[in-house]
A and B are shown apart, each in its own frame.
Chain A
Amino acid sequence: MDDAERAVSPAPGPVDSGRAPAGPPVVEAMGIVKRFGPTVALNGARIIIRPGETHALVGRNGAGKSTLVSVLTGLQAPDEGTVTFGGEPAPRLSDRDAWRRRVACVYQKSTIIPTLTVAENLFLNRHDHGRNRLISWQGVRRRAQELLTTWSVDVDPQTPASDLSVEQRQFVEIARALSFGARFIILDEPTAQLDGAAIQRLFDRIRDLQRQGVTFLFISHHLQEIYEICDMVTVFRDARHIVTAPVAELPRTELVAAMTGEAAAAGRENRASTLDPGATAALSVRGLSAGTYGDVTFQVGAGEIVGLAGAAGSGRTEVAETVVGLRAGATGEVEIAGNRPRPGSVPAALAAGAGFVPQDRHHQGFVPDMSIADNSTLSVPKRLGSNGFLSRGRRDGLAREMIERLAIKTPGPELPVSALSGGNQQKVVMARALADDPKLLVLINPTAGVDVRSKEFLLGKVEETADAGTGVLIASDELDDLRMCDRVLVMFQGRVTNEIARGWHDHDLVAAMEGVDLDA
């Protein structure tokens, strides 16, 4: 399949005649060094991107990808090294327009202004001016419509940008980038917040644009996606360039080895079930119904790991959130370790013995400016002292224990969580979920936006927790998260449609999540 993709993608575009493979590279960055105080973010890094290719940049968190992006987009000047675009030296940093004509980046963090309309976002600071030198909104709207139509983005230019979905927002940002004349676009983890179907639509769009001569630099934690969409891959590790190779010639194990610097275990060996059938079920859900799902009934035994799979909108996240009390208004019963917490109350669910990792760590997971110690003990104040007073010593002790247990990379428990990398942030969230030795652990997309090694580590922790007799519920559409489950419940359009025992093949599960029956 990968080979077939590759054969199709580099079709020459009609726009650019100089797109022969021998033409000058779109971007060439050589010997880039960038230091931030004592840390070296890039150490002699290099990347060469040829016209028309889709180039993947991979590396673990902290490998220097983000720094390279800011150097390539002209947000930061490298301390050493050169950047050239199509053979010409990069413009001055202050010349934003020149940079925007060469390169554009769709960041994880939106650069769309939510309070303005799509049209205005597209033409911000370059509005159409009428005869009287005032902005002609008609002109702006029309140009926006033309632009969106040209790149077949199906969004009404009058929509307030805050109403856009993540996917639409990315398309709008890509269209805006193209409107500046840039034909080289950096996508910084574009799929992190998208579900399977949206990712496919994004990839279709990328392939379309490839055919029209647009070059991409694609940054992702999901190796699967790189094999699907990219031609070349460059691996960074510890601020250095490790390897650049055609994707087809770099098997997955070698790619992971290049990223981690060691050979990764080829596959997770099947864990023996640690289900304890004698103990009270960790979670028992009976006839749970609400707006987006209905009649959900299942049990999670003590020591059992149960997956709750399904595409976005299938109701899996909602079910998991109802279990831990983040959502109210459901009918039916939720019983956690023999207790029936008050529905819709997170404290009640926690008191009943639940620990959970919410869907979006940035929104619900932690308080960015509070320390690791405070964040990881946020839900267990009673263990930090009596009568409402907190003991700092006990808090730091507890936090240190958790830092060690989860191997969080930090100089100490007092560091604010916002200073950590994505993987370590997620570990802090996990630490909090585990802080009170829960009887039930609920994880929603626990490895979203987390690098390969941290992912392995987090999932390993989950297994350990299950071994100790905790029931685990993982709501995710990420196959790697679900691989270690004793069984996977598949939700489709708000109903549990399948139950798949361990030992499934990827295509079985994906087919079930998409509501396709392979046997039919």
Chain B
Amino acid sequence: MPETVLADTTPPDAAPAAVKQPSLIGGRIPLARLRDLALVPAIVVIAVVGQIVNPVFLQADNLVNVLQTMSEIALLVLAQTMVLIVKKMDLSLESTMGLAPGVAAWLVVPTGAGHGLGLLPGAWSVPATLAVGVLIGVVNALLIIRFGLNGFIVTLGMLIVLRGILTGISGGQTFFQLPESMLYLGTAQWFGMPASIWVCLVLFAVAIVVLGWTSFGRSLYAIGGNVDAAKAAGIRTDRVLWIVIVAGSLLAALAGLLLSGRLASVASAQGNGYIFTVFAAAVIGGISLNGGKGTMFGAFTGILLLFMIQNVLTLAGVPAQWIGALNGLIILVALIISRVTGGKVQE
């Protein structure tokens, strides 16, 4: 079939299709699109409520602040969404987020200042961070795909191991005096907005396009929906899974880099507990834990909603001690809301 001819012409079959539509629960397609936007009304409501609670909420500074604080965890959501769509899970993302910049700092930070070894010049810190991320992804993929171990347990084990390694190399302390290159992404401003926001938004945009409009992206859905059928359709399922798992870990390392840069340090507990929020955001955003369902845009709205609510609570002056309990409650309420607006049972 000549591709160019088909590309941008309006389908001539639109009329017959439209005729047949009513017989099949009229207007399904708009519905399917709407599911994607299910959280948008909720986001609008929160924005309005936030504005009423505190007029600061909708000011540019505050919004940038919200976006920046969520940018790192949003990258984890992006990674986890890909992994969930292929019907796997990666719990170790949160400790990768801590360990990857932790190892880089360990190698780069000069001796005398904390636990640094000072083995590498500062310029190596970013490549080192990303390399650690890739390495962790390779180990995960090796265990899960090559050796056929259960992904949930493998990454749970990795979560604990990686966190332990970070505690070991840092001696339980925080790395300071990070090199300039490590700080750049977390602190730079591009076109008047923090670079980390740009990185986050651009990566989400790329992911939306890849998942929606490329064969590779669609193969993720096929694998998550029915892996045997995907194989039968000629998709090299193992290769796709490898790419997804390694890319997920790489994204987690990048998220760690952004966070370390913003805080100008790597705490030994960096990323601790993030994974729960990540899962919550993905599920709220319509990603099925059973694979094959959900969109990147939905996942983005999920994490955005969570952080907006948190921000509103902070602006409303809720005591810090209660934020934890409220965070959990928010997740549950957001799930209920998305169940109501999405209409389908969450699996």
B221 within 8 A of A: yes
Would B7 and A139 count as touching, CB distance under 8 A?
Answer: yes
Task: Name the residue of chain B whose CB is nearest to the CB of A136.
Answer: B7
Main secondary structure of the interface of B (DSSP, over half): helix
- Which residues of chain A are within 8 angstroms of B293 by Cβ–Cβ distance? 115
Contacts of A288 in B (CB 8 A): none
Instruction: Please give the distance in Å from A185's CB to the nearest CB on chain B.
Output: 14
Q: Which residues of B contact A163 (CB under 8 A)?
A: 24
**Contact assessment for A125 and B213 in the assembled complex, using a CB-CB cutoff below 8 Å:** no
B234: which A residues are within 8 A, CB to CB? Answer: 96-97, 100, 125
- A113-B225, A125-B215, A143-B1 given as contacts; is B28 within 8 A of A158 (CB)? yes
The answer to whether A116 and B225 touch across the interface, beta carbons within 8 angstroms, is yes
- Of the 9-residue stretches A127-135, A188-196, A216-224, A324-332, which lies at the interface with chain B? A127-135
Nearest A residue to B292 via CB reads A115
Measured CB to CB, the nearest residue on chain B to A140 is B6
CB of A76 closer than 8 Å to a CB of B: no
Q: State which size class the interface on A falls in.
A: 35 or more
Question: Size of chain B's interface in residues, with CB distance under 8 A?
Answer: 42
Q: Are A112 and B226 in contact (CB under 8 A)?
A: yes
Q: Are A111 and B9 also in contact (CB < 8 A) when A129-B3, A158-B28 are?
A: no
Which of B32, B212, B224 contacts A160, CB < 8 Å? B32
Whether a CB of chain B sits under 8 angstroms from the CB of A60 is no
Stretch at the interface among B13-21, B113-121, B126-134, B191-199: B13-21
B6 touches which one: A96, A111, A114, A130 (CB < 8 A)?
A: A130
For A97, give the chain B residue with the smallest CB separation: B234
Say if the beta carbon of B325 comes within 8 Å of chain A. Answer: no
Q: Contact between A142 and B222 (Cβ–Cβ < 8 Å)?
A: no
Known pairs A135-B212, A138-B11. 14 more at Cβ < 8 A? Answer: A113-B222, A115-B288, A124-B218, A125-B234, A130-B6, A131-B3, A133-B214, A135-B214, A138-B8, A139-B6, A156-B17, A156-B24, A158-B29, A159-B24
A28 an interface residue at 8 Å Cβ cutoff? no
Q: Is B52 an interface residue when CB atoms closer than 8 A count as contact?
A: no
Chain A nearest Cβ from B320, distance in angstroms = 41
Residues of A within 8 A of B45 (CB): none
Least CB distance, B150 to chain A, in whole angstroms: 15
| Residue picked from A109, A114, A139, most chain B C-beta under 10 Å | A139
A163 to B32, CA, bound (A): 13
Q: Once the chains bind, are A116 and B221 in contact (CB under 8 Å)?
A: yes
- Residues of B contacting A129 in the complex (Cβ-Cβ under 8 angstroms): 3, 215
Q: Does A145 contact B (CB under 8 A)?
A: yes
Q: Which residue of A lies closest to B12 (CB)?
A: A142
Q: Is A451 an interface residue (CB 8 A)?
A: no
Q: Are A111 and B226 in contact (CB under 8 A)?
A: yes
Find the B residue at minimum CB distance from A137: B213
- Asked whether any CB of chain B lies closer than 8 Å to the CB of A110, the reply is yes
**Residue contact A125 to B226, C-beta cutoff 8 Å:** no
Interface string of A150-181 (1 = CB under 8 A from B): 00001011111001000000000000000000
Contact yes or no, B232 A136, CB < 8 A: no
List of B residues within 8 angstroms of A127 by Cβ: 215, 218
A114 touches B226 (CB 8 A): yes
Contact of B222 among A96, A100, A125, A143 (CB under 8 A): A125
B18 to A: closest C-beta gap in Å: 10
Given contacts A130-B3, A138-B6, contact A110 B32 (CB under 8 A): no
Return chain B residues, CB-CB under 8 Å to A361. Answer: none
Chain A residues whose CB sits within 8 angstroms of the CB of B219 once the complex forms? 124-125
Are B11 and A142 neighbours in the complex by a CB distance under 8 Å?
A: yes
The answer, yes or no, to whether B4 is at the interface (CB within 8 Å) is yes
Q: Is A237 an interface residue (CB 8 A)?
A: no
Taking a contact as CB atoms under 8 Å apart, the answer to whether A159 and B9 are in contact is no
Q: Is the CB of A130 within 8 A of B209?
A: no
Q: Nearest-CB distance from A123 to chain B (Å)?
A: 9
Interface flags for A86-119 (1: CB within 8 Å of B; 0: not) read 0000000000110010000000011111111000
Does the CB pair B226–A113 fall under 8 Å?
Answer: yes
Residues of B contacting A156 in the complex (Cβ-Cβ under 8 angstroms): 17, 20-21, 24
| Contact call B229/A112, Cβ cutoff below 8 A | yes
Kindly report which residue of chain B lies nearest to residue A146, judged by CB atoms.
B13
CA gap between A12 and B3 in the complex, in Å: 35
Distance in angstroms from B287 CB to nearest chain A CB is 12
Contacts of B238 in A (CB 8 A): none
With an 8 A cutoff between CB atoms, is A231 at the interface?
no
What's the Cα separation between A131 and B9 when bound, in Å? Answer: 12
A111 & B232 in contact (Cβ 8 Å cutoff): yes
Given contacts A115-B224, A124-B233, A159-B24, contact A142 B6 (CB under 8 A): yes
> Is B10 located at the chain interface by the 8 A CB criterion?
yes
Contacts of A131 in B (CB 8 A): 3-4, 7-8
CA–CA, A142 to B213, complex, Å?
16
Bound state CA distance, A163 and B232, in angstroms? 21
State in angstroms the CA–CA spacing of A131 and B6 once bound together.
9
CB closest residue in chain A, given B223: A113
A141 an interface residue at 8 Å Cβ cutoff?
yes
| Smallest CB separation, B215 vs chain A (Å) | 6
Q: Is B235 an interface residue (CB 8 A)?
A: yes
Q: Is the beta-carbon distance between B214 and A113 smaller than 8 angstroms?
A: no
In the assembled complex, B228 has its CB within 8 A of some CB on chain A? yes
A467 within 8 A of B: no
Bound-complex Cα distance A124 to B8 (A): 20
In the bound complex, what is the Cα–Cα distance between A157 and B20 (angstroms)?
11
Q: Which of chain A's residues has its CB closest to B11's CB?
A: A142
